[in-house]
Structure 1
Amino acid sequence: MPFLGQDWRSPGGSWTKTEHGGWKRIIMYGEHDLEDNIGEIDLKELCSDNKENLFVGDVCELATTKRKKDLYNNKTKSQFVFEDKWIYVQKGSTKERHGYCTLGEALNRLDFSSAIQDLSRFNYVAKLFQLIARSQLTSLSGAAQKNYFNILEKIVRKVLEDHYNPRLVKNLLQDLSSTLHSLAIHVGRCILVGNVNVWMCRLETIHKWQQQLNNLHIPKQVCIGMSFDDLPLHMQNKVLCNLSDAYDIINLGQATPTLHALSENRILWKNLCHFHFADKQFCRNLVLTNSATVDWKLMYFTLQKHYPIKEHYGDTLHFCKHCSILFWKECGHPCTAIDPDTCLMPISPQHFIDLFKF
């Protein structure tokens, strides 16, 4: 900021009065070469009492903190970890709070990097990242981009190591690859934050992840003791009835002839249709067989083309309408309501995106 007062001396420097009545600027030790030799100078030594207080008080502490921060950023790929796993969702400036929270800030404060280690949250985070890849990449800042791809790398690594839900992550990478290819190549100029060459390198990394997932081979585990086939038929059928994904039912039905017969059960597909779709949608898309009965399996895939299916996750983010705070329910938040449970509202991945659209 320029110095606009009548005094011509710079407010950012230290000045002393000379014998002739003028002013002379005090040049600190090594001021001209300090930036080049910062790695060789011991800040603690400069801050000592023996050096005429060259760096004193907050200045020395700020310089030391900055060096530690730069060292941390160079040696780690993760963002700063917050102790509180919640964020205040603010969409405008008020007298109490200035500014607003962004999508990138939410990714960091809610600690999605640790959330993917929990199987009940993994599908939720992967679906959220898929929606971000489809529509919100251009709104991410540089720090948010770095955090996004660092978490995405951990997601891919978990699938390769634990073989957990590779189909969902394949769809995520496919959508991300299509979006980047369209924005960075077909548009003619990169509208993403950052250098276009950086995004091209990220696109190559995504293709490498896709090849690794395509080459993923899940070894057959030798079961010692009772297996799934040893369960009674009614228990196997109950397991299939608790699955909410049609592709999981089809894949499980390919394991054995018995499971294939259970996966073709009309009641199973009827319950699945009623779980995902409303009754009014059935009347518009009736699928009848030759015997005038409803083919519920074909009905499901017909409805899926026209209507979105119901999302079902083991654990989701929750929003407190009283405090305007977004948080993981297991982690909690400092709620001031008399009955906090009545203020909670589960947040779907799409609703999460909508919260940060301004």
Structure 2
Amino acid sequence: MPFLGQDWRSPGQNWVKTGDGWKRYKNDVIDYFDDISNSNSFCKEDKENIFKNLNYDVSAKKRRKDVLNNKTKTQYFHQEKWIYVHKGSTKERHGYCTLGEAFNRLDFSSAIQDCKKFNYVVRLLDLIAKFQLTSLSGIAQKNYMNILEKVVQKVLEDQQNIRAIREILQVLYESLCNLVEGVGKCVLVGNINIWVHRMETILHWQQLLNNIQIIRPVSKGLTLTDLPICLQLNIMQRLTDGRDIVSLGQVSPELYVLSEDRLLWKKLCHYHFTERQIRKRLILSEKGHLDWKKMYFKLSRCYPRKEQYGETLQLCSHCHILSWKDTVHPCTANNPESCCTPLSPQDFINLFRY
């Protein structure tokens, strides 16, 4: 005759020590204490100790649950800072790797503290806000907001990259307005009230960035205008965003003259765009010359600009592991560095499109 025991998936039985010995702990705590309250051997002190143990277990479970609630201000960390990217099911591994899993595992909270990775993470946050916000899981969306809060705090402290963060907040707010249009129509994970609160937080961040006042450092050394003109022009040629050149030209009349240099804008156009793209958008000035400045801004509206980052995420072609360059991943190749391919933020997003 087969033995009909307890289901192996159940948590098992709990036993409590009493004055008469060990007794099985029932599922209903109230019924249990009603049964043993009539026993003279069960003293009041033992009952209080059991209640303390039960309260301790409940509080411990509550603390573990609070780690992942909406009040969490830290990212959901994993021990490994890399992730295996698999797009199909095999005998050894089942399932798919999603964008939310990669966003949780790759430690973007620490990456924003590195100046080489900061622009990469900012660009990735911008792309997610535009196109991939609904593809994130609930915990990934929390991590996204937490990382964005750290980025805003860093910008407020360092007073750098203000315009880029303003643009991200504006794009994110507009995306949420479209997604949370009408009660009960939200396609995001979580209650709609949570996202309304997050939208209010975004407006608060925008107000903080709008009210920021750049503190000019007190320095008795040389300034940019004290350098020779050739060095000033050389510094301007290192800027990859035409808006930065225009802003720099508003500092002084001398810098304005340099910011209107035709050769400066010509090099900038050839850096970001191809010859074929430039030939399609030719603009002549009043003197009959090519107006490279107007061409640059027109080309920027029509074509994506060239992106350059100090450090990017890398995908190993040998073991299909995605990680940062300074992260050691378990690769069995003889030369793991030769197998790693750098990924742009857009390539990272495309990696999880099926």
1:123 to 119, 123, 146: 119
Aligned to 1:69: 64
Cα pair distance change 1:95/1:297, threshold 3 Å: same
Does structure 1 residue 100 correspond to structure 2 residue 122? no
Contact preservation (8 Å) 2:112, 2:118: yes
Cα pair distance change 1:39/1:342, threshold 3 Å: farther
What's the CA shift for 1:228?
2.1
Does structure 1 residue 345 correspond to structure 2 residue 341? yes
2:350 to 340, 343, 354: 354
**TM-score, length basis structure 2:** 0.83
Unmatched 5+ residue regions in structure 2? 15-21, 31-47
Does structure 1 residue 33 correspond to structure 2 residue 29? yes
Does structure 1 residue 306 correspond to structure 2 residue 297? no
Cα pair distance change 1:40/1:357, threshold 3 Å: farther
Q: Count how many residue pairs are aligned between Structure 1 and Structure 2.
A: 325
Cα distance per residue 1:283-333 (max 9 Å; x no partner): 111111233321111111111121111112222111122221111112243
Cα distance between partner residues in 1 of 2:272 and 2:51: 64
* Mapping 1:201-240, distance limit 5 Å: 201-240=197-236
Unmatched 5+ residue regions in structure 1? 16-25, 46-59
**One-letter code of the match for 1:69?**
R
Cα distance between partner residues in 2 of 1:228 and 1:180: 42
**One-letter code of the match for 1:231?**
L
Aligned to 1:52: none
**One-letter code of the match for 1:259?**
L
Does structure 1 residue 145 correspond to structure 2 residue 141? yes
Cα distance between partner residues in 1 of 2:321 and 2:234: 38
Does structure 1 residue 319 correspond to structure 2 residue 319? no
Cα distance between partner residues in 2 of 1:191 and 1:67: 28
**One-letter code of the match for 2:326?**
E
Does structure 1 residue 111 correspond to structure 2 residue 100? no
Cα pair distance change 1:40/1:159, threshold 3 Å: farther
Does structure 1 residue 335 correspond to structure 2 residue 335? no
What's the CA shift for 1:84?
3.2
Cα distance between partner residues in 1 of 2:76 and 2:102: 12
Cα distance between partner residues in 1 of 2:173 and 2:341: 33
Cα distance between partner residues in 2 of 1:333 and 1:228: 44
1:270 to 266, 271, 284: 266
What's the CA shift for 1:89?
1.0
Identity of aligned residues (%): 51
Cα distance between partner residues in 2 of 1:307 and 1:38: 71
Cα distance between partner residues in 2 of 1:281 and 1:249: 22
Cα distance between partner residues in 2 of 1:202 and 1:302: 35
Greater Cα shift, 178-187 or 208-217 = 178-187
Cα distance between partner residues in 2 of 1:280 and 1:39: 79
**TM-score, length basis structure 1:** 0.82
Does structure 1 residue 178 correspond to structure 2 residue 184? no
